[in-house]
Amino acid sequence: MVLVDQRGAFTGIPGSVLEVYQGVSRVENAQTESGGSNYYASVINTQSAYAWWTGDRAGAASAANSTAVVASTNYVPLDLSFAGGVDSAGDGSISVGSLQNAWALFQNADTYTINAIIQGPTLNSTLPIYLISQLAEGRKDCIPFISPPRSTVVGVTAGQAASLVNYRNQLPSSSYAFLDSGYKYMYDQYNSQYIYVPLNGDIAGLYASLPDPWWSPAGYNRGNIKNCIKLAYSPNQADRDVLYQSSINPVVTFPGQGTVLFGDKTLLTKPSAFSRINVRSLFIVIEKAIAIAAKYELFEFNDAITQAQFVNMVNPYLRDVQGRRGITWFQVICDSTNNTQQVVDANEFVGSIYVNPTRSINFINLTFTAVNGSVSFSEQQTSGPSIS
């Protein structure tokens, strides 16, 4: 059985082979060499990402066992084109309640591992508030990437900054959220048309492609937006200052330099190291890694040996993060000073970890000084550059 992308709807290339199933059987109790089912209906329904079996071909009925199966009377290969399908509901017709119910499936951090949440389009602040307050703040190990409603920037010629600030003020303060400034115009190859799409998918892509999570996704080196014909709104310097003060990260098109994410703030309103996405990402990574490692100390003796084992396990990991420029300084304390007799008697275990994260550069100040013509610059062999 061969499944082919007839019109290129999935791959973009008509005639591309999607799936191939060889040597399957019409016998319901047929098994593979490893003991799994080789019944063609079960194989399709458990493995295919595109098709679902509903009935046998005429003249080729399935059978419960090999003695009951009847030879097929059809010898010509069957070629079918799928038809009668129904498109999913459009963005505007899916209720926010349905979207929230779908996202609620990912609230269990023990079952699902999530790093980034792509909001997609939204008409108001209801869904973003849910993603931030109920999902990200509950899990504390992922970051929702939020874009404003289309109506704030698409087709708008003035007042975009004020509208964006007003929208941001509807969202909660959180270091587990990232808000960009709008929409980009791009070509939709599947429908052969140009469309506006929210930038949160692009920003999440930048975040996912970082060398390490504690790097900033913004700037000319790592923040370039791809497949962008133009922006619905490219804020100027004055607007960028207003937006950034409200923790809205501008996406800007610079002539000759492309379209760039020009901010790395989270939605945390109070001054803190966690107001930058690279710091929040750093702590998400190290907290999760150390928490997983700490599980192996459960039900061990809380004595000097176990405490030393914990320190010797955490120190090399943090040194590696430090060597990869994630932190500048750290200290791990796990001894009798924080595991007092009272802590031991309560069957608890305390490891204190102090970390100084690296900060991203958000502002550059350059000083230029004009000097008179009598000043010369010379280079000496035994010292650095000097002015004489």
- List, in sequence order, every residue forming a beta bridge with 19; answer none if it has no partner: 3
pLDDT band at 379 (very low <50, low <70, confident <90, very high): low
230-231 and 251-254: which strand pairing? unpaired
**Does residue 118 belong to any structural domain of this protein?**
yes
pLDDT band at 383 (very low <50, low <70, confident <90, very high): very low
DSSP string, 169-195: TTSPPBSS-EEB--EEEEEETTTTEEE
Predicted local distance difference test score (pLDDT) of residue 386:
35
Look-up of token digits 């997609």: 120
Residue 388: is its pLDDT beyond 60?
no
Out of 65-69, 163-167, 338-342, pick the least confident.
65-69
111 and 156 share a domain? yes
Residue 249: is its pLDDT beyond 60?
yes
Out of 79-93, 158-172, 255-269, 367-381, pick the least confident.
367-381
Predicted local distance difference test score (pLDDT) of residue 60:
87
- The residue among 58, 86, 114 that closes a domain is 86
Q: What is the spatial distance between Cα 250 and Cα 261, in angstroms, rounded to a whole number?
A: 6
**pLDDT (mean) for 234-241:** 95
Q: What is the spatial distance between Cα 103 and Cα 98, in angstroms, rounded to a whole number?
A: 9
Residue 213: is its pLDDT beyond 60?
yes
Predicted local distance difference test score (pLDDT) of residue 364:
74
Predicted local distance difference test score (pLDDT) of residue 349:
93
Residue 314's domain comprises: 298-357
**pLDDT (mean) for 336-345:** 94
Q: What is the spatial distance between Cα 5 and Cα 18, in angstroms, rounded to a whole number?
A: 6
**Does residue 211 belong to any structural domain of this protein?**
yes
**Does residue 59 belong to any structural domain of this protein?**
yes
Summarised one tens digit per residue, pLDDT across range 135-187 is: 999 999 999 999 999 999 999 999 999 999 999 999 999 999 999 999 999 99
Q: What is the spatial distance between Cα 246 and Cα 264, in angstroms, rounded to a whole number?
A: 12
pLDDT band at 387 (very low <50, low <70, confident <90, very high): very low
Residue 72: is its pLDDT beyond 90?
no
Mean pLDDT, the chain, integer: 90
**Amino acid found at 252:** V
- The closest alpha carbon to 266, from 355, 196, 362, 356, belongs to 362
Residue 274: is its pLDDT beyond 50?
yes
203 and 138 share a domain? yes
DSSP string, 87-150: PPPPGGGS-HHHHHHHHHTT--TTT---SEEE----SSSHHHHHIIIIIIHHH-S-EEEE---G
Q: Which two tokens stand for residue 281?
A: 């990402």
How many domains, in total, are found in the chain?
3
Q: What is the spatial distance between Cα 358 and Cα 322, in angstroms, rounded to a whole number?
A: 9
Say if CB 13 and CB 6 are below 8 A apart.
no
- The residue among 28, 58, 86 that closes a domain is 86
Out of 77-81, 144-148, 228-232, pick the least confident.
77-81
**pLDDT (mean) for 108-135:** 93
**pLDDT (mean) for 320-344:** 94
- The residue among 38, 66, 86 that closes a domain is 86
Residue 385: is its pLDDT beyond 50?
no
**Does residue 101 belong to any structural domain of this protein?**
yes
Out of 7-11, 103-107, 329-333, pick the least confident.
7-11
CATH assignment of the domain containing 236: 3.40.50.11780
Residue 201: is its pLDDT beyond 70?
yes
**Amino acid found at 97:** G
- The closest alpha carbon to 234, from 252, 249, 261, 256, belongs to 252
DSSP 297: G
